[in-house]
């Protein structure tokens, strides 16, 4: 039975939200202006600045908030304790770090000078993830300022290393299990299908990253004097990479698909209900054609199949004009997305062994393992999930669909294991937000709906789960 009159509370919240729309937008713009690029050492101070800004903001709206050290970039932690001693606890996870913004020349407005155009906020991190976790912050403010309290306990765990694979957070969570104890984890770091079609993500791919270096010479040499006499590391690396996939995009590394689970018929059917089409793909990416394992649908390839992708390649002279050299070495950054039951370390070793085995003559190959995280599968049948479904349906006007997400949120598997509670992945972004790409954006309507969805979810949580043992779905 509900503890609160959620109808009245909701009406008050929606009125507050409407009255403060402009300020909520301005605050997000201020947050987005901080270039908190975790991958880049030269942005370390900006990353720290973003943590301080967010902590101060959470304190300002009434939460107990602090910046907590990790082995890397710090964590922003905040909490609000409800008056009701039996109130359930919702832990909201997000990340205040962002992807690097280059290539800068492809942005229509600078990535850290947030711009409002045509109903969108354009800035690096707008959708991934500042805009999405900040919507939860604004929902908490809204409920707190209209009711003087919250219907549930709320904890925020906003990290600063998601975009570099969350290398420090797992240790941080082990060291702070008591602090983080909760009844469910809410994460908004994904996209819904459309603003009128919400989706709940029940699977995330894992990730391993590697860097391969092919070295042939002690130093760059003149391509006239030595051309035709020595191995060229760029050509050698190209030959290696060319042997990783077959013509249709299947990975040829031995054992690469071992441990990959087959989808059950119910899942295949559910994924088919709102199919992701080649037309969607072309519109979102500008791809000339879909490409990849032809025996799987696009949705299955995205959610249920592991990948091998090269994220970057470099070697030799890449400036203007001409430099007639054979370079000493060439490099590639590689990530593999993983599906449930694949072990990141084992996949990394198989990739590394394969690359070393096919190294052409005259090369020295070095493969560095950069870390990884396993895939995640989430139970679709918990009361917490049902609370999220009701909140989403009421906010967006349609029953949410269940989706397998192709991206990774490295810490989710760890949170699942270490906290042992249900996790909800309710994306607020849209498929064409250009996350990890130039001109990243976040729809202002999606932002405002996200605040509403978050407020409704907190109210639903108080209604559905108060007093019971939420961990076991009571």
Least distance to its own copies, CB of residue 186, Å: 20
Q: Which two tokens stand for residue 448?
A: 């405002």
Query: Taking CB under 8 A as the rule, does residue 279 contact its own copies?
Result: no
Question: x/- binding map, residues 418-457, to its own copies, per CB under 8 A?
Answer: -------------x--xxxxxx------------------
Query: Taking CB under 8 A as the rule, does residue 307 contact its own copies?
Result: yes
Helix or strand holding residue 303 (H, E): helix 298-304
Distance in angstroms (rounded) separating the CA atoms of residues 327 and 258: 37
Distance in angstroms (rounded) separating the CA atoms of residues 88 and 395: 22
Least distance to its own copies, CB of residue 46, Å: 14
CB 333 within 8 A of CB 241: no
Comparing CA positions, the residue from 450, 358, 467 lying closest to residue 140 is 450
Q: Out of 33, 116, 179, 238, which residue is the one contacting its own copies (CB under 8 A)?
A: 238
Question: x/- binding map, residues 164-183, to its own copies, per CB under 8 A?
Answer: xx------------------
Query: Taking CB under 8 A as the rule, does residue 320 contact its own copies?
Result: yes
* Between 6 and 223, CB nearer to its own copies: 223
Considering only residues 245 to 264 of the shown chain, the ones binding its own copies according to CB under 8 A are 245, 247, 249
User: How many beta carbons lie within 10 A of that of residue 250, not counting itself?
Assistant: 16
C-alpha 20: how far from chain center: 28
Least distance to its own copies, CB of residue 323, Å: 5
Considering only residues 357 to 396 of the shown chain, the ones binding its own copies according to CB under 8 A are 360-364, 370
Least distance to its own copies, CB of residue 40, Å: 6
Query: Taking CB under 8 A as the rule, does residue 38 contact its own copies?
Result: yes
- Measured CA to CA in angstroms, residue 403 lies from 16, 48, 191, 252, 272 at distances of 32, 34, 10, 27, 10
Binding-site residue total for its own copies (CB under 8 A)?
A: 106
* Between 66 and 280, CB nearer to its own copies: 280
CB 391 within 8 A of CB 155: no
Q: Out of 119, 224, 397, 420, which residue is the one contacting its own copies (CB under 8 A)?
A: 224
Query: Taking CB under 8 A as the rule, does residue 193 contact its own copies?
Result: no
CB burial string 191-202: b at 16+ within 10 A, e below: bbbeeeebbbbb
Q: Out of 85, 148, 265, 312, which residue is the one contacting its own copies (CB under 8 A)?
A: 312
Query: Taking CB under 8 A as the rule, does residue 470 contact its own copies?
Result: no
Distance in angstroms (rounded) separating the CA atoms of residues 266 and 239: 41
Query: Taking CB under 8 A as the rule, does residue 87 contact its own copies?
Result: no
User: How many beta carbons lie within 10 A of that of residue 355, not counting itself?
Assistant: 23
Q: What are phi and psi of 347, to 5 degrees?
A: -65, -45
Helix or strand holding residue 202 (H, E): strand 199-204
* Between 331 and 380, CB nearer to its own copies: 331
* Between 139 and 210, CB nearer to its own copies: 210
Query: Taking CB under 8 A as the rule, does residue 465 contact its own copies?
Result: no
Least distance to its own copies, CB of residue 156, Å: 24
Q: Out of 66, 84, 259, 293, which residue is the one contacting its own copies (CB under 8 A)?
A: 293
Distance in angstroms (rounded) separating the CA atoms of residues 6 and 17: 16
Query: Taking CB under 8 A as the rule, does residue 110 contact its own copies?
Result: no
* Between 78 and 169, CB nearer to its own copies: 169
Comparing CA positions, the residue from 466, 465, 473, 377 lying closest to residue 417 is 377
Query: Taking CB under 8 A as the rule, does residue 69 contact its own copies?
Result: no
């Amino acid at each position: 039975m509900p503890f609160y009159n959620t109808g009245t509370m909701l009406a008050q919240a929606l009125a507050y939200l409407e009255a403060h729309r402009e300020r909520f937008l301005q605050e997000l713009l201020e947050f987005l202006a901080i270039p908190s690029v975790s991958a880049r050492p030269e942005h370390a101070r900006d990353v720290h600045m973003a943590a301080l800004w967010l902590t101060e903001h959470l304190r300002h709206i009434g939460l107990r908030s602090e910046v907590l050290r990790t082995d890397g970039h710090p964590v922003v932690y905040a909490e609000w304790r409800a008056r009701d001693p039996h109130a359930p606890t919702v832990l909201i996870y997000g990340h205040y770090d962002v992807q690097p913004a280059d290539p800068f020349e492809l942005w229509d407005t600078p990535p850290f000078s947030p711009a409002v155009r045509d109903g969108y906020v354009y800035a690096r991190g707008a959708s991934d993830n500042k805009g999405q976790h900040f919507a939860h912050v604004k929902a908490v403010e809204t409920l707190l300022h209209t009711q003087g309290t919250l219907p549930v306990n709320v904890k925020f765990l906003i990290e600063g290393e998601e975009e570099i694979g969350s290398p420090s957070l797992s240790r941080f969570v082990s060291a702070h299990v008591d602090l983080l104890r909760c009844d469910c984890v809410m994460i908004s770091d994904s996209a819904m299908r459309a603003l009128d079609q919400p989706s709940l993500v029940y699977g995330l791919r894992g990730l391993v990253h590697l860097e391969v270096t092919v070295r042939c010479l002690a130093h760059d040499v003149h391509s006239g004097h030595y051309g035709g006499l020595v191995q060229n590391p760029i050509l050698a690396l190209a030959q290696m990479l060319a042997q990783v996939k077959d013509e249709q995009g299947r990975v040829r590394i031995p054992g690469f698909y071992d441990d990959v689970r087959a989808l059950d018929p119910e899942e295949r059917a559910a994924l088919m209900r709102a199919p992701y089409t080649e037309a969607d793909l072309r519109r979102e990416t500008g791809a000339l054609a879909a490409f990849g394992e032809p025996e799987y649908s696009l949705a299955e390839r995205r959610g249920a199949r592991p990948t091998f992708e090269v994220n970057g390649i470099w070697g030799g002279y890449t400036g203007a004009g001409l430099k007639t050299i054979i370079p000493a070495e060439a490099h590639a950054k590689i990530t593999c997305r993983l599906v449930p039951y694949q072990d990141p370390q084992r996949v990394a070793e198989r990739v590394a062994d394969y690359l070393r085995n096919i190294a052409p003559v005259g090369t020295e190959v070095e493969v560095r393992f950069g870390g990884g995280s396993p895939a995640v599968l989430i139970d679709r049948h918990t009361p917490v999930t049902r609370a999220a479904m009701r909140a989403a349906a009421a906010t967006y006007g349609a029953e949410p669909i269940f989706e397998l997400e192709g991206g990774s949120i490295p810490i989710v598997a760890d949170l699942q294991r270490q906290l042992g509670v249900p996790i909800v992945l309710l994306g607020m972004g849209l498929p064409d937000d250009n996350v990890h790409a130039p001109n990243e954006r976040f729809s202002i309507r999606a932002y405002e709906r996200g605040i509403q969805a978050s407020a409704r979810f907190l109210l639903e949580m108080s209604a559905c789960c108060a007093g019971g043992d939420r961990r076991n779905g009571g």
